[in-house]
């Protein structure tokens, strides 16, 4: 007998409440976002900056759907640490190695919840004089008004603790090919 929804494969037997976005649903939306981004940036230097660690799976799938030349770099910022709630203090642990000035910068994030981390990162990026600055977020919990730079959005997310497809709980569950509500 296959495992029930509270014991899905890859969870180590730990319970999840439900699958919120299936693997197929994610793949369809990522393909659509790739087309939208391709159309939005017909020319110029496009630098896609992924926010690690949560965006890495989404970013990898997304950039393979963007049909134009681009560069990829990363930022590591954290406000969660090993907790299930944000500490409110954003720490920048790694910054892009590539030059940012004069480039179209597309920040790729897994989830926007309070918006504090993104607000601080956008301020930091603006000081590097990009040609343009936009955000592509897979999920928005709509807990705060979205940043004006949010140009591409995968899904509105429920106010739940979501894991999978890069999202974690204390570094677990990132590998799941779907997004689930952790019990």
Q: Which helix (H) or strand (E) holds 125?
A: helix 116-126
Find how far residue 66's CA is from the centre of its chain. Answer: 16
- Give the Cα separation of 109 and 59 in Å (integer): 8
Q: Which two tokens stand for residue 149?
A: 């730079």
User: Is 113 designated active site?
Assistant: yes
Q: Could you tell me if 128 and 134 are in contact, meaning their C-beta atoms sit under 8 angstroms apart?
A: no
Which residues, 6 or more positions from 28, have their beta carbon under 8 angstroms from its beta carbon?
Answer: none
Name the catalytic one among 110, 113, 140, 168: 113
Active site residues: 113
């Amino acid at each position: 007998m296959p495992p029930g929804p509270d014991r899905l494969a890859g969870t180590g037997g730990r319970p999840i409440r439900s699958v919120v976005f299936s693997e197929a649903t994610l793949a369809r939306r990522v393909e659509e976002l790739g087309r939208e981004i391709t159309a939005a940036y017909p020319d110029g230097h496009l630098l896609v900056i992924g926010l690690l660690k949560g965006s890495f799976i989404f970013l990898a799938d997304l950039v393979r759907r963007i049909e134009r030349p681009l560069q990829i770099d990363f930022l590591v910022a954290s406000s969660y640490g090993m907790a299930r709630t944000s500490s409110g203090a954003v720490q920048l642990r790694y910054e892009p190695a590539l030059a940012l000035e004069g480039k179209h910068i597309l920040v790729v994030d897994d989830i926007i919840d309070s918006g504090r981390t993104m607000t601080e990162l956008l301020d930091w990026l603006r000081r590097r004089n990009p040609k343009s600055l936009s955000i592509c977020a897979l999920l928005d919990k709509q807990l705060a008004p979205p940043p004006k730079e949010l140009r591409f959005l995968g899904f509105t997310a429920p106010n739940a603790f979501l894991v999978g497809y890069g999202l974690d709980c204390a570094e677990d569950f990132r590998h799941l090919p779907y997004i689930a509500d952790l019990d």
